[in-house]
Chains A and B, each alone.
Chain A
Amino acid sequence: MTTDTAPGGFRKTSSGRRLTGIIMNDYLQLHQRAADGAFVVWIAIVVPAELFAGFDNVVYAVPESHAAMSAGKGVGTLQCEKAERAGYSTDLCSYARIDLGTALDGGRDSPTFGMPRPHLLVSNTNNCSLLAKWFDVYHRMWGVPHFILDIPFCYEEQTGADFAYIKAQFADLIRTIEELSGQRFDEARAREAVRLSGEALLYWKRFTSLAAHRPSPITAFDSFVHMAPILTSRGTAQLVEHYRELVAETEELMAQGVYPVPGERYRLLWDSIAPWHQLRKMSARLAALGANITCASYTYCIGSLEGSFDAYAYDGGDPLDWLARLQNFSVCPHGMKLRVRAMKEAIERNAIDGVVFASNRSCKVYSLMQMDQMRSIRDTLGVPAVMIDVDHADERKYNEEASFVRIEALLETIDALRGSGA
Chain B
Amino acid sequence: MNDIPQTLAQMKNRGRRLIGCFPLYPPLELLHSFGLTPVVLWGMNGSVQNYDSSDRHLQNYTCRVARGLTGFIIDQAAGLFDALFMYNACDTLRNLPEIIATEVELPMLRLHVPALPEERTGAKGYLQDRIRSLVKDLEQFTRRPFSADAFMASTALYRKQRALCRSLDTLCAAGGIPFARAAEVLQSAHVLGVEDHIAVLEHELAHPPSPARTPGARVMASGIQAPPATLMEVMDDSGITVAANDIATLARSYADCPPAQPDPSGYYCDFYFRHYPCSTMLPAGDRRIEVLMQRVRDSDIRGFIFFGEKFCEYEYLEFPHLQDRMKDRGVATLFLEIGAEDLANLMPMKTRIEAFAEMLGH
Asked if B122 and A364 sit within 8 Å, CB to CB, the answer is no
**Bound form: Cα–Cα A267–B94 in Å:** 32
Contact A365 B91 (CB under 8 A): yes
Q: Which of A2-10, A84-92, A190-198, A346-354 contacts B (4 or more CB under 8 A)?
A: A84-92
Measured in the bound complex, the distance between the Cα atoms of B126 and A130 in whole Å is: 22
Give me 4 other A-B pairs in contact (C-beta within 8 A), A129-B314, A132-B285, A134-B317 excluded.
A93-B313, A128-B91, A335-B95, A359-B59
How far, in whole Å, are A161 and B130 apart by their CA atoms in the complex?
9
- Beta-carbon contact of A168 and B122 below 8 Å: yes
Give which listed residue, B58, B110, B115, contacts A368 with CB less than 8 A. Answer: B58
Q: How large is the interface on A (under 10, 10 to 19, 20 to 34, 35 or more residues)?
A: 35 or more
Contact of B313 among A130, A168, A336 (CB under 8 A): A130
30 contacts between A and B (CB under 8 A): A86-B320, A89-B337, A91-B61, A129-B90, A129-B115, A130-B90, A133-B282, A137-B317, A139-B286, A148-B116, A148-B282, A150-B115, A150-B116, A150-B282, A155-B97, A155-B98, A161-B133, A169-B120, A169-B122, A172-B121, A335-B95, A336-B99, A364-B91, A364-B311, A364-B313, A365-B91, A365-B95, A368-B99, A371-B59, A372-B98
Which residues of chain B in 334-358 are interfacial with respect to chain A, using CB atoms and an 8 Å cutoff? 337
Contact A92 B115 (CB under 8 A): no
B92 at interface by CB-CB < 8 Å = yes
Chain A residues with Cβ under 8 A from B58's Cβ? 368, 371
Could you tell me the distance in whole angstroms from the C-beta of A262 to the nearest C-beta in chain B?
Answer: 36
Nearest opposing residue in chain A for B122, CB measure:
A168
With a 10 A CB-CB cut-off, give which of B59, B97, B123, B286 has the most chain A CB atoms.
B59
In the bound complex, what is the Cα–Cα distance between A85 and B316 (angstroms)? 13
Tell me, in angstroms, the Cα distance from A162 to B126 when the chains sit together. 8
Instruction: Please give, as numbers and ranges, the residues of chain B lying within 8 Å of A369 by CB-CB distance.
Output: 95, 98-99
| Residues of chain A within 8 A of B279, CB atoms compared | 133
Residue A125 at the chain B interface, CB threshold 8 Å: yes
Assuming A337-B98, A364-B91, is B112 touching A133 (CB within 8 A)? no
- Min CB distance A149 to B, Å, is 9
Is residue B323 within 8 Å, beta carbon to beta carbon, of the partner chain? yes
Whether the Cβ atoms of B317 and A136 lie closer than 8 Å is: yes
- Please determine whether B317 and A152 come into contact, CB atoms closer than 8 angstroms: no
Is A153 at the interface (CB under 8 A from chain B)?
yes
* Most chain A CB within a 10 A radius of its CB, from B115, B133, B286: B115
Tell me which of A133, A155, A162 contacts B285 (CB under 8 A): A133
**Cβ contact within 8 Å between B88 and A372:** no
What residue of chain A has the Cβ atom nearest to residue B310's Cβ? A91
Beta-carbon contact of B88 and A152 below 8 Å:
yes
- B94-A150 in contact (CB<8A): no
- Mark B residues whose CB is within 8 Å of A: 56-59, 61-62, 88, 90-92, 94-95, 97-99, 102, 110, 112, 114-116, 120-123, 126, 129-130, 133, 279, 282-283, 285-286, 289, 308, 310-311, 313-314, 316-321, 323, 337
**Residue in B94, B99, B110, B122 with the greatest tally of chain A CB atoms within 10 Å:** B94
A13 at the interface (CB under 8 A from B): no
Per the bound structure, the CA–CA distance linking A90 and B289 in Å amounts to: 23
Chain A residues within 8 Å of B120, by CB? 169, 172
Q: Which residues of A contact B314 (CB under 8 A)?
A: 129-130, 133
A314-348 residues at the B interface, CB under 8 angstroms = 335-337
Q: Which of chain A's residues has its CB closest to B116's CB?
A: A150
**A165 touching B126 by the CB < 8 A rule?**
yes
Question: In the complex, what residues of B have CB within 8 A of residue A91's CB?
Answer: 61, 310-311, 313, 316
A361 contacts B by Cβ under 8 Å: yes
Q: Is the CB of B121 within 8 A of A150?
A: no
Q: State which residues 142-175 of A face B: CB under 8 Å.
A: 148, 150, 152-153, 155, 161-162, 164-165, 168-169, 171-172
Of B57, B91, B94, B323, which one neighbours A371 at CB under 8 angstroms? B57
Please state if B129 and A161 are interface contacts (CB–CB under 8 Å): yes
Choice from B88, B121, B310 contacting A169 with Cβ under 8 Å = B121
Complex contact A125–B115 (CB within 8 A):
yes
CA separation between A139 and B57, bound complex, in Å?
36
The answer to whether A161 touches B126 (Cβ under 8 A) is yes
Majority SS of interface residues in chain A?
Answer: helix
Contacts of A148 in B (CB 8 A): 115-116, 282-283
- A interface with B by C-beta (< 8 Å): 86-89, 91-93, 96, 125, 128-130, 132-134, 136-137, 139-140, 148, 150, 152-153, 155, 161-162, 164-165, 168-169, 171-172, 335-337, 359, 361, 364-365, 367-372
Q: A365 vs B130: C-alpha distance in the bound complex, in angstroms?
A: 24
- Asked whether A132 lies within 8 Å of B282 as measured between CB atoms, the reply is yes
Chain A residues with CB under 8 A of B116: 148, 150, 169
| Min CB–CB distance B296 → chain A (angstroms) | 17
Q: Which residues of B contact A336 (CB under 8 A)?
A: 95, 98-99
With A87-B323, A133-B285, A153-B94 already in contact, the answer to whether A371 and B311 are too (CB < 8 A) is no
Is B95 touching A88 in the complex (CB atoms < 8 A)?
no
Known contacts A148-B283, A168-B122, A171-B121; A130/B95 CB under 8 A: no
Nearest B residue to A127 via CB reads: B91
State how many angstroms separate the Cβ of B156 from the closest Cβ of chain A. 31
Cβ contacts under 8 Å, B90 to chain A: 129-130
Among B92, B98, B115, B133, which residue has its beta carbon within 8 angstroms of that of A364? B92
Shortest distance from the beta carbon of A368 to any chain B beta carbon, whole Å: 4
- How far, in whole Å, are A337 and B107 apart by their CA atoms in the complex? 17
**Within the assembled complex, what's the spacing in Å between the Cα atoms of A161 and B91?**
22
Interface contact A368-B129, CB-CB below 8 Å: no
- Inside 8 A of A155's CB, which chain B residues have their CB? 97-98, 110
Residue in A130, A164, A168, A169 whose beta carbon sits within 8 Å of that of B317 in the complex? A130
- With beta carbons under 8 angstroms apart, the residue of A132, A162, A367 that contacts B115 is A132
Considering the complex, give the chain B residue whose CB is closest to the CB of A338.
Answer: B98
Please provide the 4 A-B residue pairs with the shortest distance between their CB atoms, ordered closest to farther: A87-B320, A168-B122, A133-B317, A361-B61
With a cutoff of 8 Å between Cβ atoms, the chain A residues found around residue B283 in the complex are: 148
Query: What A residues does B126 contact at CB under 8 A?
Result: 161, 165
Inter-chain contacts of A169 with B (CB < 8 A): 116, 120-122
Cβ–Cβ < 8 Å partners of B115 in chain A? 125, 129, 132, 148, 150
A129 to B90, CA, bound (A): 6
B residues less than 8 Å from A134 (CB atoms): 317
How long is the Cα–Cα vector from A369 to B92 in the complex, in angstroms?
Answer: 10
Q: Do A372 and B99 contact each other (CB < 8 Å), given the known contacts A134-B317, A165-B126, A361-B59? A: yes
Q: Closest residue to A91 on the B side, CB-wise?
A: B311
Q: Which residue of B lies closest to A162 (CB)?
A: B112
